[in-house]
Amino acid sequence: MRNSMVKNVLVNGASGRIGRAVTFNLIQLIDQGNSELEFAAMNDPIGIDNIVDNLMAHDNTHGKYDWRVERTTSEMIEIKTNKGHFFIKAYAEKSLDRIPFKEDGIQIVEECSGFFGDDKKEKGKIGARDFLKYGVETVILSYPAKYADKSLVMGVNNNEYDAGKHRIISNASCTTKAIATPLKLMIDCGFDITAY
């Protein structure tokens, strides 16, 4: 019987550079016994065969990931690691209407495509809210977004997370994530940091 506390995750933009890293880290978490997450599905409009090829490709930052990725059916891929096998539904959809979020029980979306950030035409609107219409509880953007409910950086302000209020979370920019943690450590150690 499935643990009701387990959250089903979909990675959107799974085969891009950030999506691939998120996919690998999610697999590692589950491999290490994290029982709170289940990797239920991924989506990338480039096509399922291209998703497989991109996941197997050499990464300029991380090298080649330690996994084997194969397409097993028209909507399923298998990721094999040293510790186990993961069967993950794979979609190649541009329209969210064509992804069965409720049927797949998706509660968390890791949004790595870049297409659901701040609306360029309508101030105050963010595309990530569209996921909530399909029963998704939380959307985590891998990029900055002014109109997210909260921007969180692990190790810096993640203790401010409130599940009731923060349904659209921005994980900030790469630059912010790179500098925020060492700056926080310096401040916590008593260094005075003044911007000029």
Active-site amino acid positions: 174
Q: What is the DSSP letter of 58?
A: P
Count of other CB atoms within 10 angstroms of residue 149: 19
What b/e readout covers 120-144, taking b as 16+ CB neighbours within 10 angstroms? Answer: eeeeeebbbbebeeeebebbbbbbb
Collapsed DSSP state (helix, strand, coil) of residue 108: strand
- Residue 106's SS3 state is strand
